[in-house]
């Protein structure tokens, strides 16, 4: 039975890439009754009909899954971030990175709109999140083309997702990576006298150098569903670098002998630690009484 990968969906119609060909498929009745949501990125077994359409008979187990954006079997999440237009929101960035770490997916930071930044701003971000926190950083400008070849090389041969805040330029980046692609966009409210657009659906796009990239909807808030308070510190890679705390179950808040607290302001950025404490309080507040 042929196996393909879902590249986009509309209601109960799914477009599946099978042997390099896009096939319009509908799920078999049993799958519809199970009410299991089929995601972009899902690998599926299909039956091909003589008329060129197909039927999805089975969804194969997922290697990974992101909920926001909803996409399956991603092995790299390129988190798109800007310092200007929109202004840098580090708390939002750290929130996204926690979710990527929790999903067990490799993260890549894409600093977009570098044409609006000074070289010092770009280097400062690279030092902070590249050297101190430990994520690879690729500075790019979808407008001028700066850094696009480097980003394309990192995405080649992989299933990736571009994730980030609305207005960060993900769809423009996708068009730079896959010339000729036209995103399905919807108009947002105008701001500062200029129109904004954002993608409405997750769609996997084939890249010229091989691989697939998901142009995903922008989003503004992520809840810490499934993240345990005592596991949160493990989702901050910079915390790992400062040595063990006195207690194995240290929450890095009020415990004596905490290596993380001792490193704040030097090996750990103060805003990262403050975000950790805010996320920890949010997770604890979600606990049922």
Strand partners, 23: 16
What is the C-alpha separation between 230 and 251, in angstroms, rounded? 6
77 in a labelled binding site: no
pLDDT digits (tens, 9 = 90+) for 82-139: 999 999 999 999 999 999 999 899 999 999 999 999 999 999 999 999 999 999 999 9
245 in a labelled binding site: yes
What CATH architecture is 65-215?
3-Layer(aba) Sandwich (3.40)
Q: List the end-to-end C-alpha distance of the chain, in Å, as a whole number.
A: 49
Q: Which stretches of the chain are DSSP H helices? A: 29-34, 90-102, 119-125, 148-155, 170-177, 237-240, 259-263, 270-285
The model carries a pTM of: 0.84
144 in a labelled binding site: no
25 in a labelled binding site: no
73 in a labelled binding site: no
Give the percent of the chain with pLDDT over 70: 89
Instruction: Tell which CATH classification among 1.10.1200.10, 1.10.580.10, 3.40.470.10, 1.10.40.50 matches the domain 229-285.
Output: 1.10.40.50
Confidence label for 61 from pLDDT (cuts 50, 70 and 90): very high
- Residue 194: Cβ within 10 Å count: 7
Max CA distance (Å), the chain: 70
Instruction: Tell me which fold the domain 3-59 belongs to.
Output: OB fold (Dihydrolipoamide Acetyltransferase, E2P) (2.40.50)
252 in a labelled binding site: yes
The pLDDT of residue 285 is 92
Q: How far is CA 132 from CA 120, 196, 227, 238, 270, in A?
A: 16, 33, 24, 7, 12
């Amino acid at each position: 039975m042929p196996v393909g990968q879902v590249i986009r969906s509309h209601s109960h119609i799914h477009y599946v890439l099978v042997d390099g060909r896009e096939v319009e498929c509908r799920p078999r009745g049993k799958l519809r009754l199970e009410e299991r949501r089929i995601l972009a990125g899902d690998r599926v077994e299909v039956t091909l009909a003589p008329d060129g359409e197909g039927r999805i008979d089975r969804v194969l187990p997922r290697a990974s899954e992101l909920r926001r954006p909803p996409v399956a079997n991603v092995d790299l999440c390129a988190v798109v971030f800007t310092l200007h237009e929109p202004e840098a929101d580090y708390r939002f960035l750290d929130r996204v990175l926690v979710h990527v770490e929790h999903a067990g997916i490799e993260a890549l930071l894409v600093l977009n709109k570098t044409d609006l930044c000074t070289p010092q701003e770009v280097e400062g971000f690279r030092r902070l999140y590249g050297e101190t926190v430990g994520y690879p950083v690729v500075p790019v400008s979808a407008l001028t083309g700066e850094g696009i070849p480097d980003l394309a090389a990192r995405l080649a041969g992989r299933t990736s997702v571009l994730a980030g805040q609305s207005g960060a330029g993900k769809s423009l980046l996708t068009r730079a990576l896959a010339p000729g692609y036209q995103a399905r966009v919807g108009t947002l409210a105008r701001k500062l006298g200029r129109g904004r657009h954002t993608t409405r659906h997750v769609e996997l796009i084939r890249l010229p150098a091989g691989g697939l990239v998901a142009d995903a909807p922008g989003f503004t808030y992520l809840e810490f569903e499934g993240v345990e308070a005592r596991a949160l510190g493990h989702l901050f890679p910079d915390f790992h670098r400062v040595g063990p705390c006195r207690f194995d179950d240290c929450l890095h808040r009020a415990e004596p002998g905490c290596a993380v607290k001792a490193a704040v302001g030097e090996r750990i950025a103060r805003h990262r630690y403050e975000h950790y404490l805010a996320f920890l309080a949010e997770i604890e507040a979600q606990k049922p009484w």
